[in-house]
Amino acid sequence: MSELADAVSGWNPAPETASDSLRRWPTDALAALLDQPPPAGDDLPPLWHWLFFLDHPRTDELGVDGHVASGHFLPPVPRRRRMFAGGRVELHRPLRIGTAVTRTTSVTDVVPKTGRSGPMLFVTERREIADANGLAVVEEQDIVYRQAPADAVPPKPPAPRPLGDDHVPEGRVGIVPDPPLLFRYSALTYNAHRIHHDETYAREVEGYPGLVVHGPLLALLLLEPARRAGRSADIAAFSFRLRRPAFAGTPVVVDTEPELTAGPVGGEPSVTGAVTWR
C-alpha cells in the first residue's frame, strides 16, 4: 500500500451539519462580478449556493498553499496537495433568497489511485441542503489529493522579513501580512485593487517592491488593542493618517505609546491614529 493510501486507512470522519441564511448581498455581488443584473425574483440560481456555508479559518490555521492546513473532512495525507476534480448536483427545487437553510456533509467514498503524477486519493463529499420545506439540493464533490515530494523546495517568502521568525513579537498586537492574508481581506471587502493581490502588477506597473497592505486594514489594526481589552464601547471618535505603505512579508505591529502607530518593528510607522475616549 502506498504512503498516501496507508495514511487514510481507517479514516472515516463523521457527518457534520451547518446552518446559514441565504442573504441577497452575495448573490448581487456575484452578478456584478459577471457584469450581469442581480437574479430576478428570490430563486437562487443553480450552484450559487456555493456562496454560502463559507468557512473562515484563522490565518495561522492555513498551510503554505493558502488552504486550511487541517480540517474535519481533510484526509491525514502527509505533504498534502489538494485540487477540485468534479461533482454532481441534484436540484429538487430552487432554494430561496432570504431563507434559512441547513447543510449536512459526509464523506461517502475514499479511493486511492495511481496516475501519471503518482499516487492520488479521490475523496467524495456528499452535501444535502434543506430548508423549512425539506431537502432541496443534493451535491457530491470529488476532491483529489496528491503528495508533494519529500524533498520539495518550500515556497519562498514574498519579501525579506526583518524579524527572526514569521510572528509578531510576544505581547504585541499585529499581523504578518502574507499573500493569503491580503487576498482574504480583499475578498472579504470585495476589493479588486491589484496592488493587494497581483504581485506582478504591483511591481511592474505601479513600482512597489511587493504586495501592498490595505490602508483600511492598517487603520483597523490600530483599534485592535482597545477591542481586545474590551474597550470598543469607550471610543467616541477615531482619526488616522496613512504615512507610508506596508508590504507583504514584513510584520506590522501596533504601538500605543507615545502615540498610536502601526508599522514594522523598529521602523517608521505606516499609519498613525488618535482616539477620543468617552
Q: In this predicted model, what pLDDT tens digit does every residue of 126-148 receive, in sequence order? A: 999 999 999 999 999 999 998 87
pLDDT class of 247 with cuts at 50, 70, 90: very high
In 10 A of CB 43, how many CB atoms?
A: 13
- Sheet of 252-255, strands arranged across: 174-175, 252-255, 260-263, 271-277, 235-242
Q: Residue 60 has what pLDDT?
A: 86
Interior/surface letters 181-194, b for 16+ CB within 10 angstroms, e for the rest:
bbebbbeeeeeeee
Ramachandran sector of residue 53 (left: φ over 0; alpha: ψ -120 to 50; beta: rest): left
Q: Residue 155 has what pLDDT?
A: 56
Kindly report, as residue ranges, where domains of CATH 3.10.129.10 are found in the chain.
3-147, 174-277
Q: Which three cell numbers stand for residue 208?
A: 512597489
Superfamily holding 174-277: Hotdog Thioesterase (3.10.129.10)
Q: Pick the residue with more confidence: 272 or 63? A: 272
CA 34 to chain centroid, in Å, comes to 21
Kindly tell me the number of DSSP H helices and DSSP E strands found in the chain: 6, 10
pLDDT class of 181 with cuts at 50, 70, 90: very high
pTM: 0.80
| Helix or strand run (H / E) with residue 201 | helix 199-204
Pick the CATH number of 3-147 from 3.40.50.1000, 1.20.120.1760, 3.10.129.10, 3.40.630.40: 3.10.129.10
For 2-53, the pLDDT digits (tens) are 778 888 888 999 999 999 999 999 999 999 988 899 988 999 999 999 999 9
Please list the residues that pair with 175 across neighbouring strands. 252
Report angle CA 145, 146, 151 to the nearest 5 degrees: 145
Q: Residue 204 has what pLDDT?
A: 94
Q: Pick the residue with more confidence: 137 or 78? A: 137
Q: Which residues contact 161 (CB under 8 A, 6 or more apart)?
A: 249, 250, 251
Interior/surface letters 78-115, b for 16+ CB within 10 angstroms, e for the rest:
eebbbeeeeeeeeeeeebbbeeebebebbbeebebeee
Q: Residue 167 has what pLDDT?
A: 66
Q: Pick the residue with more confidence: 158 or 76? A: 76
